[in-house]
Structure 1
């Protein structure tokens, strides 16, 4: 299992996941050229990708979908409402899933689950591989009970820690945008992300990607401090935490890995 956060944040989002036989992206929010270049940096040829799975239609998650799909002959998996909401996608190989459906794709199982965000049909994903599960949950205003249930017993987590509440409150954003970010259809704060981690923490967790950090209203240090406090309070052995991109984590079942 290999995971790399190629990009994360309001300027673009894309997550690379590799199992024994499958290479997929979750979202393609950069240009096709940028995605190909970042994959090349980690030794992956974009022509070797097998598919792209889309969480929702916002441009920072789907900007490069059309060109990437056409250039590398990639099928794109969407919820039908997400597909309908994407403008100027062009001709691509379209495949659809329903929320709650398990998509069997080569040697992985991909389970979309609903999240709360201001989009047509936003989802998170659990990617189940022979080496364990990867949970991806970003761009959500609240972590519902269903989100918590979906992320149980994941080997790797990609969790949103978008903003520090004080930095957002005192920062330069206009008040309507601050309200949108803090709403139930906005983004999780550092404290919210840490609380979600607390709900799904277990001994088999090896790595946590702290995702979608705001450049204006957060810092990697503040996000990591919030999560570290949760782990310390529970006397839990700390998994590897990643707040930057791109960063590759290769996971294999090894008793020495934490």
Structure 2
């Protein structure tokens, strides 16, 4: 898929699997690959995207809902896999990777024309990363699987044209839901996941004239709903020019062209 600007589409988002497709010019990148290789291929094909056109995979952290299909896709399509050394050390499920490329949070790198800026986030993983991707004058900010929003996170995400942000749970649904208490504490803790209210506050702080789209991601199917998440975060937008979207767990989302 050749484009002179960014194209972004969530292939899957949620506890059962996460993968975000980003392309521009001659580069097509998967951010995480937390479904089976066959399922990721199927979802790409639904979008009329040839898996052979992929050029790289970036892994944000080692949890299975982010790496399940990464190893097999890397081997099948001879894709370089970008990952931090600590995350790789905790990712035995990847298997043998022929083209392994390490990155460190805080140090930018390039995948063809795309500048990738990884930054540290707070989550119960070895070395979890948020990302910004920049191409020409366009910027995508990605932050999911984090328990708190630090100044570092906000500094990296500012001036984005598109934000892909966690909006994991409705606090009331979480507290009154079926999960055991220790899991509820983990989810709403500093190393857990952002709530709808957290996402609303973050969007309100990052809203600028440059921001055109917000995609809410990693929604819990048990402790949230697309309607609740969108309703809460929309309060920070005030019917502005910003498009609000919700990533889906079981099918690809809308392909957004910046």
TM-score interval (norm. to shorter) = over 0.9
Quick one: distance in 1 between partners of 2:20 and 2:94?
A: 20
CA contact (8 A) 1:32 1:65 kept: yes
Q: Tell me the residue number matched to 1:159.
A: 165
Quick one: distance in 1 between partners of 2:255 and 2:139?
A: 14
- 1:248 Cα offset (Å): 2.8
Matched, 1:25 2:48: no
Q: Secondary structure at the match of 2:147?
A: coil
Q: Secondary structure at the match of 1:36?
A: helix
Quick one: distance in 2 between partners of 1:101 and 1:94?
A: 17
Q: Secondary structure at the match of 1:35?
A: helix
- Can you give the 5+ residue segments of structure 2 that lack an aligned partner in the other structure? 1-5
- 1:94 Cα offset (Å): 0.6
Question: How far does the alpha carbon of each residue in 1:203-235 deviate from its partner, in whole angstroms, 9 at most, with x for none?
Answer: 111111100000000000110111111112xxx
Quick one: distance in 2 between partners of 1:238 and 1:176?
A: 40
Matched, 1:86 2:91: yes
Matched, 1:212 2:218: yes
- 1:74 Cα offset (Å): 0.6
Q: Secondary structure at the match of 2:87?
A: helix
Matches within 5 A, 1:141-152: 141-152=147-158
CA contact (8 A) 1:117 1:140 kept: yes
Question: How far does the alpha carbon of each residue in 1:85-121 deviate from its partner, in whole angstroms, 9 at most, with x for none?
Answer: 0023221121000111111111110000100000000
Matched, 1:196 2:213: no
CA contact (8 A) 1:42 1:248 kept: no
Q: Tell me the residue number matched to 1:39.
A: 44
Q: Tell me the residue number matched to 2:247.
A: 244
- 1:131 Cα offset (Å): 4.9
Runs of 4 or more off by more than 6 Å in structure 1?
none
Q: Tell me the residue number matched to 2:65.
A: 60
- 1:237 Cα offset (Å): 1.4
Residue from 42, 50, 71 that aligns with 2:76: 71
Matched, 1:4 2:19: no
- 1:81 Cα offset (Å): 0.1
Residue from 100, 108, 117 that aligns with 1:111: 117
CA contact (8 A) 1:125 1:135 kept: yes
Q: Secondary structure at the match of 1:179?
A: helix
Quick one: distance in 2 between partners of 1:14 and 1:250?
A: 15
- Can you give the 5+ residue segments of structure 1 that lack an aligned partner in the other structure? 253-258
TM-score by length of 2: 0.94
CA contact (8 A) 2:68 2:93 kept: no
Answer with 240-249 or 139-148: which moved more: 240-249
Quick one: distance in 1 between partners of 2:233 and 2:53?
A: 35
